[in-house]
Amino acid sequence: MRKFNVNVNGRSYAVEVEEIGGVAAAPAPAPVAAAPAPVAAAPAPAPAAPAPAPAPAPAAAGKGEPVNSPMPGLVKKLCFANGASVEAGKEIITLEAMKMDTPVVAPKSGVITYCVNEGANVDTGALLCTIA
């Protein structure tokens, strides 16, 4: 039996491990430096790809209450059209994260202006829309 102390998430555990077989482990061989690989000539640069479509411009600061993403995920559904009137507490966006749908609700009533499109990947804190 060999005893070890193992730390997991800041907690220390005393662990006993039983040796099976009784064969002593052989020492690891010393590392050998590999010969450098031949370097090929750099390929000619590919023609520039067309620029992706620009994302919708975020609403001007101070023009409505911002609604930010509570988590990273995929914008699965925009529940209203841009410029629609929404009521406080109604679902305005469905985010998908780890195969689960999470509703984002309106913090107040007003007119919604989306700053993302369906299918967009967003990070935590990203501006999703504003409600004026």
Q: Find which of 11-20, 35-44, 81-90 is predicted with most confidence, using mean pLDDT.
A: 81-90
SS3 content of the chain, % helix, strand, coil (to 5): 0, 40, 60
CATH topology for 65-131?
Answer: OB fold (Dihydrolipoamide Acetyltransferase, E2P) (2.40.50)
How many Å from the N-terminal Cα to the C-terminal Cα in the chain?
Answer: 69
pLDDT at 11: 85
pLDDT digits (tens, 9 = 90+) for 57-113: 444 444 889 999 999 999 999 999 999 999 999 999 999 999 999 999 999 999 999
DSSP state string for 16-27: EE---S-PPPPP
The count of residues in the chain is 132
**The tokens 């482990």 sit on which residue?**
25
Lookup: tokens for 131: 């409600």
pTM of the full structure: 0.53
